[in-house]
A and B are shown apart, each in its own frame.
Chain A
Amino acid sequence: MVQRLRVRYAKRGRLRFTSHRDITRAVERAVRRADIPVAYSAGFSPHPKISYAGAAPTGVASEAEYLEIGVSRACDPLSLRAELDTSLPSGLDVLDVVEARSGSLADRLEGSMWEVRLPGVEPDAAAKAVEQFLSSERVEVERLTKKGIRRFDARGAVGSLTVGNDMGGAVGAPVMIDDLRTAGQELGPPCVILRMVVRHEIPAVRPDDVLMGLRLVAGFAPPSPPEVTRLAQGPLDAMTGEPTDPFEPDRA
């Protein structure tokens, strides 16, 4: 392996229903189609050296997923970005590629900014639930995992949580203009949008855990499934508390 390349990619639209395993298969095939000289591990059944950092769950869209590819021949990040992007199905879109300079990418991913669209929800109800959630010290939630039901705090990891809607009206919080919707998609009925910054902790707190928290503290129950998108992940800015570009140290 002569070089490591760090890739930021998006998981969009209907391809948000891919699972992490689906994505790893798709990436391995795309790498082969694009003739990227990926390095292989030694041993009896060699594996391509591709590693993933904190994948968004199945059903959750993302503008900020990260992976790292080890190659056996030096590659130009810009052309690799184009080749990989054309070789992946549309909806898995390569956004940025840099050559790794130092350190571990995974360590830089301290937190994520999530957007949660809640169609058919009353803005006031959402605002009230958020207020109650934020004013709680701890909000114990449960999640069914492979090892059974786990209980953990969903409040502590939440850095910020705001409410907006996509009609441009603020509901006691900054307005969230949805610029990420696929072009051409018509606007549906009004819809509340939550935006939150969640620190990556163990156990990991996910947007649906926060939603469960909102239900527990305020009986807040959206009528239809939430549409969740990860907008960014990276080191958290000391001032704003929001994630910044994790490739910064590699760009120098």
Chain B
Amino acid sequence: MSVESLFPRLEPLLPKVQKPIQYVGGELNSTVKDWDDATVRWALMYPDAYEVGLPNQGVQILYEILNELPGTLAERTYAVWPDMEALMRAAGVPQFTVDGHRPVRAFDVFGISFSTELGYTNLLTALDLAGIPLVAAARTDDDPLVLAGGHAAFNPEPIADFLDAAVLGDGEQIAIAISEVIREWKSEGSPGGRDEVLLRLAATGGVYVPKFYDVEYLPDGRIKRVVPNRAGVPTRVFKHTVMDLDEWPYPKKPLVPLAETVHERFSVEIFRGCTRGCRFCQAGMITRPVRERSITTIGDMVAAGLKESGFNEVGLLSLSSADHSEIGDIAKGLADRYEGGNVSLSLPSTRVDAFNIDLANEFSRNGRRSGLTFAPEGGSERMRKVINKMVTEEDLIRTVRTAYGQGWRQVKLYFMCGLPTEEDVDVLGIADLAKKVIKAGREETGSRDVRCTVSIGGFVPKPHTPFQWAAQCDHETVDRRLRQLRDALRSDKEFGRAIGFRYHDGKPSIVEGLLSRGDRRVGAVIRAVWEDGGRFDGWSEHFSYDRWMKAAADSGLDVDWYTTRERDEHEVLPWDHLDAGLDREWLWQDWQAAIGDEDEIEDCRWTPCYDCGVCPTMGTEIQIGPTGRKLLPLTVV
């Protein structure tokens, strides 16, 4: 069965939409493999606009790995904007891939990578435009397997009805394994239809098939238990962890878009995982343990990636890039290598210490010392202890003093509002800190030309973290605290004008909270919101809190019960059968330590293992340097 390109039907629509280039594909390093030569075909989606989705590392890595696999092809698709959606519906053009412009429904697997829950409504748009039934139970053997991955897939329950399967953790190896299972099943003549292939996938223990699990509820609405409903399906599904990142040096050939996107650079992950143990951080908890890529592999990837892409900026990615055991040598090596050229380097790091400034100094050798970012996260010493972010006020002031002293003129500070046990004074503490920062900067530089920007995000309790049991702060309280803080900053004659303040209102966090810790009953709300026109919920101009609240009320669902209610130790959480390796008891103790008054948890990279459970459960171990090797200069041609 050959599949025709939809492009001739799409083409007449393109002059009528905003930024048509996002729909035409043809990016440098993109691949269009022959349809008939492949047995296993993946359509990969990042469920947001092209400009956000294209740079996504996860999708680019899987795209490259799957296309390298013989007999397998992968193409990409993104969320289309409402102007294009309307035209596609009118013209009967289905959801298409940007590579071969093939209809998504013709593929074997439709894989969607969710970094955030706010992409759920866009999933429904894509399914509907593709002509794939929204509900998994209604799909036939002619529909692809709809498979979710990404961080949000660690609790896929709110979208369980719309998914055939979900995978947790690193995608490289499991994507290949899934392709194998499908290839074998197809080579046998697809016996037993989609149920059979799903069963084979589920039996591996590494693929979650929601419909093979029944959720039973208690009379009060809590979950009683989640149990497999057929033989051969494991009771727990485990996450995947790639060990030895040096063996997986992707992306090798980064996609270079014609359209403008949010990140115009070549990014290299320098390690995965983080064991600093910040209690609010889902990413840190679910990606344990730390696995570093070696300095030499990083150096090679940067050289090759720049050559393949023509980008002039390199980003060294990870959850806390300054923590790489050889980051100093990496920074110096790269800065030396590209000295005097037009390549700029960036290192997202928010560590509050002098070392971070040294790194930033290396990376700004070629350019201006504009802004440095630090993330104390909590406004008071007490708050920072609750979240296990071990930064003292003294540390912070000393660090910013050094930064200003070395020529940096602007300091950005990140905080969260709505943290467990937070009170007004904790948030007002942010104003005091910011003033002290400016004061230190003025003293250090002898000038009034120093600035500080305070950015605040709303805290949302996430699954698989010690705060998964916590009550989320209601949005009225968050908004009130932020107003108080704003007033405290603005009214200050001495420092107010040197301090910038950026924040969002608390309402989107409530919807994010509902979707993060929701169960299967939340699916009806997502569907109702989508039917009511909900799209692109991550974009403030498209997001509607009222639409979500109305849909929840209409479905008879109590949003507070899901968000602002504290859970007790023994409540069955919707994601308890999905295993990130973290020992539940350890998480609970850590939660108790947070709200009690106990000592901080240190980082297991430098102190003994504190038995979070991940390594023994997953059969993994910490992989860190130093290797002692250095970056070799590139030979000049």
Residues of A within 8 A of B (CB): 14-15, 17-19, 21-23, 25-26, 28-33, 35, 40, 44, 46, 48, 58-59, 87, 89-91, 188, 224-225
User: A22 vs B264: C-alpha distance in the bound complex, in angstroms?
Assistant: 12
B588-621 toward A: CB 8 Å interface, digit per residue (1/0)?
0000000000000000000000000000000000
Please give, as numbers and ranges, the residues of chain B lying within 8 Å of A15 by CB-CB distance. Answer: 24, 26, 258
* Sample of 6 A–B contacts (CB below 8 Å): A14-B11, A17-B20, A25-B264, A29-B312, A87-B310, A91-B26
Interface centre among B14, B15, B307 (most CB of A within 10 A): B15
Cβ-defined contact, B259 with A22, below 8 A: yes
Counting CB contacts under 8 A, is B457 at the interface?
no
Q: Are A58 and B20 in contact (CB under 8 A)?
A: yes
Q: A17-B20, A40-B342, A89-B26 are in contact. Are A33 and B368 (CB under 8 A)?
A: no
Least Cβ–Cβ distance between A34 and chain B, in angstroms: 8
Q: Is B307 a contact of A17 with CB atoms below 8 Å? A: no
Chain A: which residue is nearest B307 at the CB level?
A: A33
Q: A21-B260, A22-B259, A225-B15 are in contact. Are A29 and B311 (CB under 8 A)?
A: yes
Of A25, A35, A87, chain B has the most CB atoms within 10 Å of the CB of: A25
B256 within 8 A of partner (CB)? yes
Q: Does B16 contact A (CB under 8 A)?
A: yes
Q: How far is the CB of A212 from chain B (nearest CB, A)?
A: 15
Closest 3 interchain pairs by CB? A29-B310, A33-B310, A14-B24
Partner of B16, one of A18, A90, A225: A225
Asked if residues A35 and B637 are in contact (CB atoms below 8 Å), the reply is yes
Residue contact A25 to B309, C-beta cutoff 8 Å: no
Q: Is the CB of A14 within 8 A of B260?
A: no
A29 to B260, CA, bound (A): 13
Q: Evaluate contact between B258 and A18: CB separation under 8 angstroms.
A: yes
Q: Residue B21 contacts which of A18, A35, A224 (CB distance < 8 angstroms)?
A: A18
B258-288 to A contact mask, C-beta < 8 Å, 1/0? 1110001000000000000000000000000
B28 contacts the other chain (Cβ, under 8 Å)? yes
Residue among A23, A44, A59 having the largest count of chain B Cβ atoms under 10 Å: A59
B264 touches A44 (CB 8 A): no
* Contact residues in A for B25 (Cβ distance below 8 Å): 14
Q: How many residue-residue contacts, CB under 8 A, span A and B?
A: 69
A32-B312, A33-B307, A40-B342 as given contacts; A17 in contact with B260, CB under 8 Å: no
Contact residues of B with A, CB < 8 Å?
Answer: 7-8, 11-12, 14-16, 19-21, 23-28, 256, 258-260, 264, 306-312, 342, 368, 637
B27 x A89 contact (CB < 8 A):
yes
A22 to B310, CA, bound (A): 14
Whether B26 pairs with A25 at a CB distance below 8 angstroms is no
Closest partner residue, chain A, to B312 (CB atom) = A32
**Do residues A90 and B310 form an inter-chain contact, with CB atoms below 8 A?**
no
Complex Cα distance A90/B28, Å?
A: 8
CB contacts (< 8 Å) of A46 on chain B: these are: 342
Chain A residues within 8 Å of B259, by CB: 22
Given contacts A87-B310, A89-B258, 19 further A-B contacts (CB under 8 A): A14-B26, A18-B258, A19-B19, A22-B21, A22-B258, A25-B258, A28-B310, A28-B312, A30-B310, A33-B308, A33-B310, A44-B368, A46-B342, A59-B14, A59-B20, A89-B26, A224-B12, A225-B12, A225-B15
Q: Which residue of A lies closest to B259 (CB)?
A: A22
Q: Which residues of B contact A188 (CB under 8 A)?
A: 8
Chain A: minimal CB distance from B369 (Å): 12
Q: Which residue from chain A places its CB closest to the CB of B20 in the assembled complex?
A: A17
Taking the closest CB of chain A, its distance from the CB of B528, in whole angstroms, is 36
Q: Whole-angstrom distance between the alpha carbons of A15 and B14 in the complex? A: 12
Quick check: A17 and B21 within 8 Å, CB to CB? yes
B340 to chain A, nearest CB (A): 11
CB-defined contacts of A31 to chain B, threshold 8 Å: 310
Choose among B8, B28, B260, B306 the residue that contacts A89 (Cβ–Cβ < 8 A): B28
**CB-nearest residue of chain A to B23:** A17
Q: Please give me the residue from chain B that is nearest to A17 by CB atom.
A: B20
Do residues A59 and B24 form an inter-chain contact, with CB atoms below 8 A? no
Q: Which residues of A contact B14 (CB under 8 A)?
A: 17, 59
- Do the beta carbons of B260 and A90 come within 8 Å of each other? no
Q: In this complex, what residue of A is CB-closest to B101?
A: A14
Contacts of B16 in A (CB 8 A): 225
Known contacts A22-B258, A89-B258, A225-B15; decide if A32 and B310 are in contact (CB<8 Å).
Answer: yes
- Complex Cα gap A89–B30 (Å): 10
A128 to chain B, nearest CB (A): 25
Residues of A contacting B309 in the complex (Cβ-Cβ under 8 angstroms): 29, 33
A91 to B30, CA, bound (A): 14
* A59 vs B258: C-alpha distance when bound (angstroms): 14
Residues of A within 8 A of B256 (CB): 26, 29, 89
- Across-interface contacts of A29 in B (CB, < 8 A): 28, 256, 309-312
Bound form: Cα–Cα A44–B370 in Å: 13
**Interchain CB contact under 8 A, B24 and A17:** yes
In the complex, A17 Cα to B311 Cα: how many Å?
Answer: 22
Given contacts A17-B14, A31-B310, A32-B312, contact A22 B260 (CB under 8 A): yes
What residues of chain B lie closer than 8 Å to A44, measured between beta carbons? Answer: 368
A23, A35, A48, A90: the one within 8 Å of B26 (CB): A90
In whole Å, how far is B83's beta carbon from the nearest beta carbon of chain A?
14
Q: Once the chains bind, are A59 and B260 in contact (CB under 8 Å)?
A: no
Q: How far is the CA of A19 from the CA of B21 in the complex (A)?
A: 8
In the assembled complex, the Cα of A58 lies from the Cα of B14 at a distance in Å of: 11
Q: Are A14 and B7 in contact (CB under 8 A)?
A: yes
Q: State the Cβ distance, B225 to closest chain A Cβ, in Å.
A: 53
Minimum distance in angstroms from B231 CB to a CB of chain A: 50
- Write out the residue numbers on chain A whose beta carbons fall within 8 Å of the beta carbon of B368: 44
CB neighbours of B28 from chain A (8 A): 29, 89
Closest Cβ–Cβ distance, residue A7 to chain B (whole Å)? 16
- Nearest neighbor of B310 in chain A, beta-carbon distance: A29
Nearest CB of chain A from residue B381's CB, rounded to whole Å = 41
Nearest CB of A to B98, in Å: 10
A44 — nearest CB in chain B belongs to which residue? Answer: B368
Identity of the chain A residue whose Cβ is nearest the Cβ of B29 in the assembled complex = A89
- A residues within 8 A CB of B342? 40, 46, 48
